[in-house]
Amino acid sequence: MRAVAKALIVLCVFSFVANAAAQEKFRAASGGFSTAIHALLWLAYEKKIFQKYGLDGEYLALESGTPAMQALLANELQIVFTTGALAITANLQGADATIIAGGINFIPNKLLVRPDIKTPEGLKGKRIAISRFGSASDYATQVALEKLGINPKDVTIVQTGGNMTRLAALSQGTVHATLLSEPHTTVGMREFKLNSLIDLAESGVAFPQNCFIVKRSYFEANRPKIVNAMKAIIESYFVLRKDKPLAVSLMKKYNRVSDEDASLGYDYYLAKYGDGVMVLPDRKGLEFIISQVATTNAKAKGQTPESLRLLDGSVLEEIKKSGFIDKFKK
């Protein structure tokens, strides 16, 4: 009897191990998730589109891209949707991050300030909030200050968190300015009478705001999984384009905004710019980040997107050649 029991235990153990292997998680994360473009991942997870393509998908919503990139490099995630700037800083430190698709390829932010600040000069001596040093909000803030003619040494940059956290800090007066994206810019100007000093979407600066990033080593060993993950994400985009109410419901769930503000985010990020997911980010944007990093990091001097192995367009090329995207367009 004991022998039978032991045999059953062994069989159960082997069954558990085999099942665990078959159900291996494919973890995708947003590094900063407060804009509607992240609905690409929300839908793929919520409606089990990852599973449709053979992936046991799991989604993590992280307030900043920095911890998301750290988790990717530690093999705790398989794909991250965050700023391409983090792939640059990671690879300068010897990592093997690579960008396989884009998202938003410009700076979709306005610099909002307290109601008493009317001009750029009013920023001097004030506190400006970003999410994390090295994040998209960090580099974009430097662009905003340059465009406004303000020396970064004349302000204090502080780390506070994502869009919602920064809006709260600005509305409460603990900081005096921050970059925000829609619908948070509209909410801030409507609810808290904040002023906008500059709209960086109109600056013409190419910028890798959102990109899909993987570890090259994982990609090379698991290429079919990465291709299928991008198929799920691209399908999610086409579903969202056809079903605005669904997109709005997801935004309300993840961002806790009203129907009106969710609709605004949808119109801006998905209806207008969502097809950026099917192209690589602009090379000029990556060059811009490298040049910015080079001012404080000597390792960045003379580097290019090619020398840092930042871009790999083979996944999108394979998907397009297969007719996958044409099927949804029809």
| Helix boundaries (H) for the chain | 2-22, 39-46, 49-52, 65-73, 85-92, 136-148, 163-172, 184-191, 216-221, 223-242, 244-255, 259-265, 283-294, 314-321, 324-329
- Last residue within a domain, chosen from 202, 223, 246: 202
Apex 196 CA angle, 190 and 201, nearest 5: 110
Indicate whether 17 belongs to any domain: no
Query: Is 286:136 a contact under the CB 8 Å cutoff?
Result: no
- Note whether 91 and 139 are same-domain residues: no
Q: What is the pLDDT of residue 20?
A: 37
Q: What is the pLDDT of residue 101?
A: 97
CATH number of the CATH domain containing 145: 3.40.190.10
Q: Which amino acid is at 329?
A: K
Spans of the chain, pLDDT less than 50: 1-23
- Note whether 84 and 124 are same-domain residues: no
Indicate whether 12 belongs to any domain: no
Q: What is the pLDDT of residue 257?
A: 87
- Note whether 213 and 197 are same-domain residues: no
Q: What is the pLDDT of residue 13?
A: 35
Indicate whether 4 belongs to any domain: no
- Last residue within a domain, chosen from 202, 235, 262: 202
Indicate whether 126 belongs to any domain: yes
What is the separation, in whole angstroms, between the first and last Cα of the chain? 63
Total domains in the chain come to 2
- Note whether 60 and 192 are same-domain residues: no
Is residue 227 classed as helix, strand or coil in its secondary structure?
A: helix
- Note whether 121 and 259 are same-domain residues: no
- Note whether 196 and 258 are same-domain residues: no
Q: What is the pLDDT of residue 182?
A: 87
- Note whether 194 and 221 are same-domain residues: no
- Last residue within a domain, chosen from 202, 230, 250: 202
Q: What residues make up the domain containing 226?
A: 23-105+207-329
Indicate whether 263 belongs to any domain: yes
Q: How far is CA 259 from the centre of its chain?
A: 23
- Note whether 130 and 178 are same-domain residues: yes
Q: How far is CA 320 from the centre of its chain?
A: 23
State yes or no: cis peptide before 67, omega within 30 of 0: no
Count of CB atoms situated within 10 Å of the CB of 256: 11
Q: What is the pLDDT of residue 17?
A: 34
Indicate whether 150 belongs to any domain: yes
Q: How far is CA 271 from the centre of its chain?
A: 18
Indicate whether 14 belongs to any domain: no
- Note whether 325 and 218 are same-domain residues: yes
- Note whether 222 and 95 are same-domain residues: yes
- Note whether 325 and 256 are same-domain residues: yes
Indicate whether 220 belongs to any domain: yes
- Note whether 63 and 153 are same-domain residues: no
**Residue whose C-alpha is closest to residue 47's, from 212, 247, 210, 222:** 247
